[in-house]
Amino acid sequence: MSAILNTILIYAKNPVATAAFYSDFFDFDSSGEMHEGLIELTTADTGATILIHQAAKSVKLGQVGVKLMFSVRDVDVFKVQSAQRGLIFGSTHQANGYAFANAKDPDGNSVAISSRAYRQPAV
């Protein structure tokens, strides 16, 4: 039996603001309504689901243990488009045939954009 990762749960101090962040900047769809303590965000492109859960006061947010990486064809173009809507990414870094840049969501969780999925294979 195999296990398939298709859902990410994010604890948030303000679930509505966090859901809006992922909807606005990464094209996830959501009603924004909380059901059973969760706001569900989906995308037709990847089939991935994000669940936003109200964080308990004791939960420490913004740790670097997990980073959500979003694949984009052109990191710099995506950065410009995001900045026009209020999300500022850090410097663009070059790696082995791809680029990436980092930012934070409203709860201080690390998010990144990367062109790694679109890099050309070495010839």
Between these two residues, 67 and 21, which has the higher pLDDT value?
21
How many domains does the chain divide into? Answer: 2
Question: In this model, does residue 15 exceed pLDDT 80?
Answer: yes
Q: Residue 68's closest CA among 1, 10, 17?
A: 10
What are the counts of helices (DSSP H) followed by strands (DSSP E) for the chain?
2, 7
pLDDT at 3: 52
Instruction: Assess whether 18 and 66 both reside in one domain.
Output: no
List b or e across 48-58, with b for residues whose CB sees 16 or more CB atoms inside 10 angstroms: bebbbbbbeee
When the pLDDT of each residue in the chain is averaged and rounded to a whole number, the result is 87
Instruction: Assess whether 70 and 118 both reside in one domain.
Output: yes
Are 55 and 106 contacting, i.e. CB atoms less than 8 angstroms apart?
no
Torsion 74-79-80-86 (CA) sign: positive
CATH code for the domain of 122: 3.30.720.110
Instruction: Assess whether 17 and 68 both reside in one domain.
Output: no
Q: What is the pLDDT of residues 30-86, one digit of tens each?
A: 988 998 889 999 988 777 889 998 888 887 776 656 788 898 999 999 999 999 999
- Its domain, for residue 21, covers 7-55
Instruction: Assess whether 14 and 48 both reside in one domain.
Output: yes
Using 50, 70 and 90 to split pLDDT, how confident is the model at 9? Answer: confident
Of 55, 70, 94, the position where a domain reaches its end is: 55
